[in-house]
Chains A and B, each alone.
Chain A
Amino acid sequence: NAGVIQTPRHKVTGKGQEATLWCEPISGHSAVFWYRQTIVQGLEFLTYFRNQAPIDDSGMPKERFSAQMPNQSHSTLKIQSTQPQDSAVYLCASSSGLGVYEQYFGPGTRLTVL
């Protein structure tokens, strides 16, 4: 079991560019979560999928952020027109599903917007 896989581990973009972050959940897990971690804001929930369907995107900045889960083996978080305030560590987590709540976190992608 390789755990939750996130790629790339580090990404540097220029202001206004697009960034796509990838997450591969633990095999067999039906729930995928995205969080963001910064020194100032701490850990913030972004969005959540269950069985590939979007369930809750209440934490997503509405205009430039989007997330998808096209199949059970990966999810993507896309940030358009990146801004310096988007710089953060983006964490993906997965859990096995209803009735089991423990979330396993990936190593994160550190996004730096210059």
Chain B
Amino acid sequence: GEKVEQHESTLSVREGDSAVINCTYTDTASSYFPWYKQEAGKSLHFVIDIRSNVDRKQSQRLTVLLDKKAKRFSLHITATQPEDSAIYFCAASRTSSGQKLVFGQGTILKVYL
């Protein structure tokens, strides 16, 4: 079945630097790619998404890039802040089949001073 691989299990960056988290997917029919943030002891919080009809989407300090040919997408966080520290999950879905999300394994992002 569909798999989503999240390449970085842990990522440590200095405050103010950029962070990049990379994901790949196997299902060529995937067309929707959201990212979620999970802080310690809390649930998933939506941060940004991208659909397959575009290859880039930006929201403030967050940018998502999508390379459909390589079946790869990435989350770029600029000017990182300590409050960005959390687990980030990428996901993919076939919107045609009902939107169920297949998640990556998560990346622990640590922003240090």
Contact = CB atoms under 8 A, between A and B. Distances in A.
Interface residues of B, number: 24
A35 B103 CA distance: 10
B98 A56 contact: yes
Query: Chain A contact residues (Cβ within 8 angstroms of B): what range?
Result: 20 to 34
Contacts, number: 57
Contacts of B93: 101
DSSP majority for the A interface?
A: strand
Contact of B99 (A44, A48, A58): A48
B89 interface: yes
Interface string B26-51: 00000010101000001111100101
Interface of B: 32, 34, 36, 42-46, 49, 51, 89, 91, 93, 95, 97-106
Interface of A: 31, 33, 35, 42-45, 48, 50, 55-56, 58-59, 91, 93, 95, 101-108
6 contacts: A43-B101, A48-B99, A48-B100, A91-B43, A101-B51, A107-B43
